[in-house]
Amino acid sequence: MPDLLSHAFIAFTVCTLLSLRYDWLTGEYVTVGMAGAFIPDMAKIKILVDAAAVEAALDIPFDWLGVHTLGGAFVAVLVGTVIANRSDRRRVFGLLSLGAASHLFADALLLKASGRSYEVLWPLTQYHPPTPGLYLSTDIWLTGVTGTVAVSAWLFTAES
């Protein structure tokens, strides 16, 4: 799926450029930021595990879409932070959050038939913000563009 790779490229680019400012932001931490970009798409587990099965097991209302929102991503970031070494937790929290935020922002720019995005800021609000409709999640050209920018950022930082 081209959009998942694009999210990885976007997070890589942002983290790599930030590594120019922060000496501690090494390749391992860039990878953490990229992992954060995958967090909202954990909602795609719905392909394998039906939400109704989770709802029946937990006996509470459940929908996988919640993972693909600000609140769901925040909970996943907290889980990722807790499993990190105590000395790395602040950095891991920041980088996972940055990756997840870049994903949510990029998805808010998707072309939707309604002209509105999904409830990206849930649980703060159920508002569906308007979207500029710059691309579809299936557009392969986007992967080429984000990949080219990521390689450019890598080459730029390699020379520095």
In tens, the pLDDT along 100-142 reads 999 999 999 999 999 999 899 999 999 999 999 999 989 999 9
- Lookup: tokens for 104: 């949510």
Classified as helix, coil or strand, 130 is strand
* pLDDT band (50, 70, 90) for residue 159: confident
Q: Give the residue extent of every domain in the chain.
A: 2-150
CB under 8 A, 24+ apart: contacts of 9-13: 9/143, 9/146, 9/147, 9/149, 9/150, 10/37, 10/102, 10/103, 10/106, 10/146, 10/150, 11/36, 11/37, 11/98, 11/99, 11/102, 11/103, 12/150, 12/153, 12/154, 13/146, 13/149, 13/150, 13/153
In tens, the pLDDT along 32-58 reads 999 999 999 999 899 999 999 999 999
Provide the pLDDT for residue 16. 98
Rounded Cα distance, 40 and 113, in Å: 21
Rounded Cα distance, 151 and 88, in Å: 27
To the nearest 10 degrees (0 to 180), the angle between helices 27-38 and 70-82 is 140
Provide the pLDDT for residue 2. 64
In tens, the pLDDT along 63-79 reads 888 899 999 999 999 99
